[in-house]
């Protein structure tokens, strides 16, 4: 799997995980907000919200009806009480019921309490439901101080001559305890007198104002109740502060519900923001650290430091002590391997470049020496011939001239080899080739080479192929290769060395090989590995007058330029075999050449 696919899969999975986590946070937040709103509603209006839940969650067993303990606890928190009545009005179950609440109700008695036609110290709410074949009634009661106070005020309160309210002591004490106030309004709704009224309370009421304050107490922060006195046309008004004590004004949400929603939204977005922030930091650590490591590694490569950066313990930062990839680096393993290979290649190239520069300097020094040595000879003989005080004989002049020509030829050969090596390096191709029969041509060439006075007589043996091989090659280049390989085999080995040159036709008549096998001292591995490098060896004209030190490099370039290849097999102390191989030449007994 390539790194593109790995990163795509990794980022898609992480994005999906982040979205799932955000959805989970939203779901938890909404669930909490919903439960909180239900609790607020139960706390503010248990009669309308809680009774239905009590009935729905109740279970009827052998011991009677059982209710949800949490809802019963809410009943207690609200200061209310609960009774379950059977069809006969008998109390079956009760919870937090005061002593002054009846244990049995007659039908008419129960209805008169519920409708308010008969005085009852508690506000009542009713829920009737049939469950498991039984009909039961839930009766929920809450203290109703405003109703009790209103009845007392309307029956016992009076207006004095100096327009002050006269109220029973227990009423005034209760109003101060609860923080409420009393107003007496005339027929137009204007205040005649009041007791304990705050400055924020109105002193006059329109029909709409009084109705709204009675119906929507949560908007104004006070629960208002009034009673109209038909005989006088006056109205008694009592207001007690709500449980929260804060008016919501014209808001469509009660303050506590609004705060709950705002808190839930802030908590949800904060949690999501914090989660994505942590995810971003984790992503930066997981992907940023490997990227910075690779950048520092590449920067080190630019400074010729080819080892992977290590930590304070000397261990590669991308690896564990066991040598395995660290988890965060595993996704970039392919890239890290590529950088590691690049480091190795650059390091090898640097070593090779340093070696090549060193060998080049040595080679240039050798070439300079080889050019200067014959030039000194030529210059010396020229000075001798030019001196007027000497009278040289014709024999001496010929001798001097021969030496000068020999040194000039060596310089010419060296210069030609240099030029040829650079031409081959630049991709030079051979001129138009001619067709030859390889066996006969090679025999004639080896006979000419064998006439060199530096070679021992019969040091060169020739073994032709059993069939005529007609090839199309550029013979001057091939002849030069033959001369170079023969000279290397016979001049750089002991005098008794024998060179066997063989022509081998490949099976099927496709391709051929020219093999040069000597029984000399052979070469070591280092010499073989660098045999064809131009700058591996210097030259030594004093040891080999006909050599330039570039022969093997030039030979390899010429063979490859003619479509062949050259190989070397050698064993130290046993000799060397050099093969010139062409794979795409047909060998036959007739004149002509077939090539692919």
* Domain closes at, from 227, 252, 277: 252
> Is residue 508 located within the same domain as residue 525?
yes
Q: Out of 118, 143, 168, pick the residue that ends a domain.
A: 143
- DSSP three-state, residue 199: coil
Give the pLDDT confidence score for residue 415 in this predicted structure.
79
Residue 385 has a pLDDT of: 84
Nearest alpha carbon to residue 151 among 125, 126, 117: 117
* pLDDT under 70: residue ranges of the chain: 1, 44, 63-64, 243-255, 366, 370, 421, 424-427, 508-509, 534-549, 584-596
Q: Are residues 520 and 533 in the same domain?
A: yes
In 3D space, the residue among 69, 70, 87, 78 whose CA is nearest the CA of residue 47 turns out to be: 78
Asked whether residue 434 falls in the same domain as residue 570, the answer is yes
Residue 192's pLDDT is what? 93
What confidence score (pLDDT) does residue 1 get? 53
Residue 280 lies in a domain: no
Q: Write out pLDDT tens, residues 9-43.
A: 878 888 888 889 889 999 999 998 888 887 777 77
CATH of residue 67's domain is 3.30.450
Please report whether residue 120 resides in a domain: yes
Q: Are residues 399 and 467 in the same domain?
A: no
- Domain end: 143, 177, 192, which one? 143
State whether 409 and 440 are in the same domain. no
Cβ contact 178:239 at 8 Å: no
Cβ–Cβ under 8 Å, residues 332 and 3: yes
Write the DSSP string, 91-120. EEEEES--TTS-SB--HHHHHHHHHTSS--
Eight-class DSSP state of 471 = E
Considering the domain architecture, whether residues 211 and 95 belong to the same structural domain is answered as: no
Q: Are residues 170 and 219 in the same domain?
A: yes
Classify residue 232 by its DSSP letter.
T
Beta strands in 145-233 (DSSP E): 158-159, 165-166, 181-185, 191-195, 222-229
- Domain presence at residue 176: yes
Q: What is the pLDDT of residue 276?
A: 87
Q: Find the Cα–Cα–Cα–Cα dihedral 541, 492, 422, 577, rounded to 10°.
A: 170
Rg (CA), the chain: 58
Give CA–CA dist 26/501, Å, rounded.
Answer: 89
What pLDDT does 147 receive?
83
CATH value at residue 389: 1.10.287
| Mean pLDDT score of the chain | 82
Q: Is 304 part of any domain? A: no
Q: What is the pLDDT of residue 471?
A: 87
Number of domains in the chain: 4
Looking at residue 166, its pLDDT comes to 92
Is residue 424 one of the residues assigned to a domain? no
Q: Residue 457's domain spans which residues?
A: 429-586
Task: Tell me the β-bridge partners of 123.
Answer: 142
Residues 383 and 505 in one domain: no
Residues 159 and 247 in one domain: yes
pLDDT at residue number 195: 93
What torsion, rounded to 10 degrees, do the Cα atoms 582, 588, 589, 594 define? -90
Q: How would you list the strands of the sheet with 191-195, edge to edge? A: 191-195, 181-185, 234-241, 222-229
**Statement to judge: residues 439 and 533 lie in one domain:** yes
User: Could you tell me if 397 and 454 lie in one domain?
Assistant: no
pLDDT at 541: 38
| Residue 260 and residue 37 in contact, taking contact as beta carbons nearer than 8 Å | yes
Interval 96-137: pLDDT, tens: 888 888 888 888 888 888 777 777 778 888 888 777 777 778
Q: Is residue 284 part of a domain?
A: no
Q: Where are the beta strands (DSSP E) in 144-233?
A: 158-159, 165-166, 181-185, 191-195, 222-229
Say if residues 416 and 551 touch (Cβ distance below 8 Å): no
465 and 563 co-located in one domain? yes
């Amino acid at each position: 799997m390539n790194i593109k696919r790995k990163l795509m899969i990794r980022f898609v999975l992480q994005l999906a995980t982040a979205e799932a986590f955000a959805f989970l946070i939203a779901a938890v937040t909404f669930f909490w907000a919903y439960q909180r709103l239900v609790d607020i509603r139960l706390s503010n209006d248990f009669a309308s919200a809680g009774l239905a839940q009590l009935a729905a969650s109740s279970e009827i067993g052998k011991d009677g009806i059982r209710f949800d303990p949490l809802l019963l606890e809410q009943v207690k928190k609200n200061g209310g009480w609960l009774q379950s009545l059977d069809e006969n009005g008998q109390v079956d179950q009760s919870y937090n019921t005061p002593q002054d609440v009846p244990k049995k109700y007659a039908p008419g008695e129960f209805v008169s309490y519920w409708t308010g036609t008969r005085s009852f110290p508690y506000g009542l709410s009713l829920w009737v439901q049939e469950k498991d074949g039984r009909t039961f009634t839930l009766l929920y009661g809450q203290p109703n101080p405003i109703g009790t106070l209103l009845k007392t005020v309307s029956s016992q309160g009076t207006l004095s001559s100096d327009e002050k309210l006269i109220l029973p002591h227990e009423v005034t004490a209760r109003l101060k305890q609860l923080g409420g106030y009393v107003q007496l309004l005339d027929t137009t709704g204007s205040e005649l007198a009041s007791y304990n009224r705050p400055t924020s309370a109105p002193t006059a009421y329109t029909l709409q104002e009084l109705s709204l304050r009675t119906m929507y107490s949560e908007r104004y922060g006070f629960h208002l109740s009034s009673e109209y006195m038909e005989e006088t046309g006056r109205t008694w008004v009592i207001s007690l502060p709500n449980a929260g004590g804060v008016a919501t004004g014209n808001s469509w949400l009660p303050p506590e519900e609004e705060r709950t929603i705002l808190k839930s939204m802030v908590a949800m977005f904060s949690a999501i923001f914090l989660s994505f922030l942590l995810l971003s930091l984790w992503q930066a650590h997981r992907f940023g650290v490997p990227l910075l490591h690779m950048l520092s590694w590449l920067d080190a490569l630019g400074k010729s430091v080819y080892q992977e950066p290590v930590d304070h313990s000397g261990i590669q930062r991308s690896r564990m002590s066991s040598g395995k990839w660290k988890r965060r680096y595993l996704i970039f393993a392919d890239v890290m391997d590529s950088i590691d290979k690049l480091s190795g290649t650059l390091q090898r190239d640097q070593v090779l470049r340093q070696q090549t520069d060193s060998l080049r300097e040595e080679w240039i020094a050798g070439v300079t020496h080889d050019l200067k040595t014959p030039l000194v000879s030529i210059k010396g003989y020229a000075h001798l011939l030019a001196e007027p005080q000497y009278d040289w004989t014709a024999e001496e002049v010929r001798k001097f001239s021969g030496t000068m020509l020999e040194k000039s030829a060596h310089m010419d050969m060296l210069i030609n080899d240099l030029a040829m090596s650079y031409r081959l390096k630049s991709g030079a191709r051979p001129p138009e080739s001619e067709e030859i029969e390889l066996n006969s041509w090679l025999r004639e060439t080896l006979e000419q080479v064998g006439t060199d006075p530096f070679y021992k007589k019969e040091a060169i043996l020739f073994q032709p192929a059993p069939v005529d091989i007609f090839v199309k090659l550029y013979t001057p280049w091939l002849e030069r290769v033959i001369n170079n390989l023969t000279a290397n085999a016979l001049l750089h080995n002991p005098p008794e060395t024998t060179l066997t040159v063989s022509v081998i036709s490949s099976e099927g008549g496709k391709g051929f090989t020219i093999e040069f096998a000597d029984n000399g001292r052979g070469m070591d591995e280092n010499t073989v590995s660098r045999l064809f490098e131009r700058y591996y060896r210097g030259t030594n004209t004093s040891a080999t007058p006909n050599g330039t030190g570039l022969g093997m490099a030039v030979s390899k370039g010429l063979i490859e330029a003619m479509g062949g290849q050259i190989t070397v097999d050698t064993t130290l102390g046993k000799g060397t075999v050099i093969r010139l191989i062409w794979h795409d030449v047909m060998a036959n007994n007739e004149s002509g050449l077939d090539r692919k």
